[in-house]
């Protein structure tokens, strides 16, 4: 059983489209995250949720909307996709917010916007 | 502001040779420090972490890291590199405030020569 699973792994789409990435964790963790890894492999946090509550929104354009239906799921919806949104998006989870830093990452979803 | 710098973008070592990957951080208080490894096409996996106490920490896969406050460094070492260690290595610092947020360095790509 994969601890943190994301779907789809690959997304190729046209500019202006809307797409979603889903994430599920079966670790019983309270906290989930979305990180973006750009073409230079730089990783930056986008959002974090703790028990379905938004904790971090890291000045991400409001075209990006996370949704956490329960603490095991954190989905990412992106409206009006732009070329600059092309990246690998990683979902992660941790057992809490107290800087344990032990994040469990999914395998990533590679988004390509044409 | 907190930041992490990995001075070496790319390192090549021979199999069996020793390895040291550098990491410098900027942080006002005692930092929480981490090293993660990313194999090609995979998510990130935690190698080791430092919170407090002994400044030499042991991790998985034979890695260790040493926290040096005077140098604001947290370098990763391995005495003998295996071909399977070829990957991307990320140093990260945990941000205080109970947000679970990590700030990552730009990564070091490790290539292992046979």
CB A39 within 8 A of CB A57: no
* Of the partner residues A45, A107, A108, the one whose CB lies closest to the CB of residue B102: A45
What pLDDT shows up at residue B2? 83
Helix (H, G, I), strand (E, B) or coil at A98: coil
Closest to A78 measured CA to CA, from A96, A58, A64? A64
- What are the structural domain ranges in chain A? 4-113
CB A92 within 8 A of CB A36: no
pLDDT in tens, A40-89: 999 999 998 988 888 888 878 999 999 999 999 999 999 999 999 999 99
B101 and A45 within 8 Å at the Cβ level: the answer is: yes
Q: Name the one residue in this structure whose structure tokens are 């990246």.
A: A87
**Can you give the length of chain A in residues?**
114
CA A30 to chain centre: 15
Sign of CA dihedral A17, A23, B87, B32: positive
The percent of residues in chain A predicted with pLDDT above 90, rounded, is 74
Token code pair at residue A112: 């390509």
Domains defined along chain B, listed by start = 3-113 (2.60.40.10)
A68 at B interface, C-beta within 8 A:
no
Q: How confident is residue A99, by pLDDT bands cut at 50, 70 and 90?
A: low
| Radius of gyration, alpha carbons of chain A | 13
* Of the partner residues B43, B49, B100, the one whose CB lies closest to the CB of residue A90: B43
pLDDT in tens, B17-67: 999 999 999 987 778 899 999 998 888 999 999 988 889 999 999 999 999
Homologous superfamily, domain A4-113: Immunoglobulins (2.60.40.10)
């Amino acid at each position: 059983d994969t601890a943190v699973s994301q779907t789809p792994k690959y997304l190729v789409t046209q500019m202006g489209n809307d797409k979603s990435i889903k994430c599920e964790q079966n670790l019983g963790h309270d906290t989930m995250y979305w990180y973006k890894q750009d073409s230079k492999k730089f990783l930056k946090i986008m959002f974090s949720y703790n028990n379905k509550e938004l904790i971090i929104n890291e000045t991400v354009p409001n075209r990006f909307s996370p949704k956490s239906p329960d603490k095991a799921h954190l989905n990412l919806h992106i409206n009006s996709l732009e070329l600059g949104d092309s990246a690998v998006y990683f979902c992660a989870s941790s057992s809490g917010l107290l800087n344990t830093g032990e994040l469990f990452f999914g395998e990533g979803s590679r988004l390509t916007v044409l | 502001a907190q930041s992490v710098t990995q001075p070496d973008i790319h390192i090549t070592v021979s199999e069996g040779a020793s390895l040291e990957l550098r990491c410098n951080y900027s942080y006002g208080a005692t930092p929480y420090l981490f090293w993660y490894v990313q194999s090609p096409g995979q998510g990130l996996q935690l190698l080791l972490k430092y919170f407090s106490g002994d400044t030499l920490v042991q991790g998985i896969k034979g890695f260790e890291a040493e926290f040096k406050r005077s140098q604001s460094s947290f370098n990763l070492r391995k005495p003998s590199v295996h071909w399977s260690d070829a990957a991307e290595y990320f140093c990260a610092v945990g941000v205080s405030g109970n947000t679970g947020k990590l700030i990552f360095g730009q990564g070091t790509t490790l290539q292992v020569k046979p």
